A = this chain, B = another copy of it.
């Protein structure tokens, strides 16, 4: 389910297919072979997952995603649980032109409406697959870089041409079984002096690391 005219209008130019649209303003759409239903704002509120629903809701066909051959940088998510974090990471991937995110099987479902919403249409442009990441990484021939509290300083680190960046669960980080497969670990240094400072949220850490990786390109 995709909400909001802006994102819905981007779907036809993506790999996804709309099957139905429920909208308060049917004149907004001229999509072929799609059943469009005119609904009242009250009806839309019942269909929508949002507290304040937008103008329309589209039902799309699920897509069977395939792992793409790996070029340059890709993300591996090891048990991300929060839908807002996954949505934000998808949006970051889109911003930085990262084509693929490989999620562990226990990562939150990216078809969760909160993820779709937080990704702001970016899920249409990033290939997102769910896999046994342990098996995947075991067969990987390129570098596997993970975040860790005691890793190498991000700002002094020279990233290889091609690598997978592994990001761990919100509370527990990267699981030991995945950690064993890392070829390197990096840390975002803390400049504030207080030890009480909480470590950065995983989506913010992803943004800062990607910012740094792309500063070299």
Interface residues of A (CB under 8 A from B): 10, 88, 91-92, 94-98, 120-122, 124-125, 154-155, 188-194, 196-198, 200-201, 203-204, 207-208, 210-212, 214-215, 217
One complex includes copies of this chain to the number of 2
Report how far A98 CA is from B193 CA in the complex, Å. Answer: 10
**Closest Cβ–Cβ distance, residue A102 to chain B (whole Å):** 18
- Some 30 contacts from A to B, beta carbons below 8 A apart, are A10-B196, A88-B201, A91-B197, A92-B200, A92-B204, A95-B200, A96-B190, A96-B191, A96-B192, A97-B192, A97-B193, A121-B197, A121-B198, A122-B198, A125-B197, A155-B214, A189-B214, A191-B217, A200-B207, A204-B207, A207-B207, A207-B208, A207-B211, A208-B208, A208-B211, A211-B211, A211-B212, A212-B212, A212-B215, A215-B215
- A-B complex: 7 closest residue pairs judged by Cβ atoms: A208-B211, A97-B192, A97-B191, A120-B198, A155-B215, A96-B191, A204-B207
